Amino acid sequence: MALYLKKELDDDARIYVWEITETEEELMASTAVPDNELEELSYTRSEARRKEKLATRALLNEIFPEKLYLGHHDNGKPYLQNTAMEISISHTNRFVAILLHPDEDLGIDIECLDRDFSAVEKKALSEDELDDLDDRKKNLQLAIYWCAKEAIYKRMSLTGVDFAEQIEVERFNPRDEGEIEATFYHKDGTELEFELNYEVFENHVMVWVVG
């Protein structure tokens, strides 16, 4: 088991990424798992989902020397039960990413670039975003668009969000890492502007937003 990446950000946020190299049995044997999470695991049929949950717990144990309990709001947003610190979590079959901040709202998303993002193009992009697509970099662009919108969605913690209509990502030139700007449009007409960061590594893209 290994901590793959740790990033200390300028705004007191921290990112931790765990590479899931263990089997489910190895994770279970080497990770101290609270009883409530063990109960959740017993109802989880997918082996991949069980490994993700176990790796998330392993990463939390790596980050925090004290025992912290992970809960979820009704909308699925995670929270730490015995600390005021804000948390966002994302995972793929290979990685678990955790973003933390003492008090700011935040969101993180990570995706494997082997994924077929054609559905993102059809359902999650505005007309302007579709016009900005470059066939030479299309898959990476779509992945960054999706991760950015997911990160903002997690940060907003709202239900019924229309990704194409309510989250607009400004034109960007995809690189190995960079910054992008986006706007969230509330249904009452008010707007919130965000600056996001992204990084590409090991055939994955990760995007995060703080504040």
Boundary (domain end) residue, out of 103, 122, 152? 103
Boundary (domain end) residue, out of 67, 85, 103? 103
Instruction: For residues 51-72, give the mean pLDDT.
Output: 92
Burial class (CB in 10 A: 0-12, 13-18, 19+), 151: buried
pLDDT score of 1: 60
The whole domain housing 97 covers 2-103
Q: What single DSSP character describes residue 159?
A: S
Same domain, yes or no: 116 and 96: no
Same domain, yes or no: 146 and 70: no
pLDDT at 64 over 70: yes
> What's the CATH code of the domain at 50?
3.90.470.20
Same domain, yes or no: 167 and 97: no
pLDDT at 83 over 70: yes
Helix axis angle, 35-42 to 47-63, nearest 10°: 170
Same domain, yes or no: 120 and 180: yes
Give tens-digit pLDDT for 187-205.
999 999 999 999 999 999 9
Give tens-digit pLDDT for 89-136.
999 999 999 999 999 999 999 999 999 999 999 999 999 999 999 989
**pLDDT, mean over the chain:** 94
- % the chain with pLDDT above 70: 100
Instruction: For residues 152-161, give the mean pLDDT.
Output: 95
- Looking at the structure of the chain, the number of domains it has is 2
Same domain, yes or no: 27 and 11: yes
Instruction: For residues 30-56, give the mean pLDDT.
Output: 93
Strands (E), 40-154: 70-72, 78-80, 86-91, 95-101, 106-112
* Distance (Å, whole) CA 186 – CA 192: 8
Same domain, yes or no: 6 and 31: yes
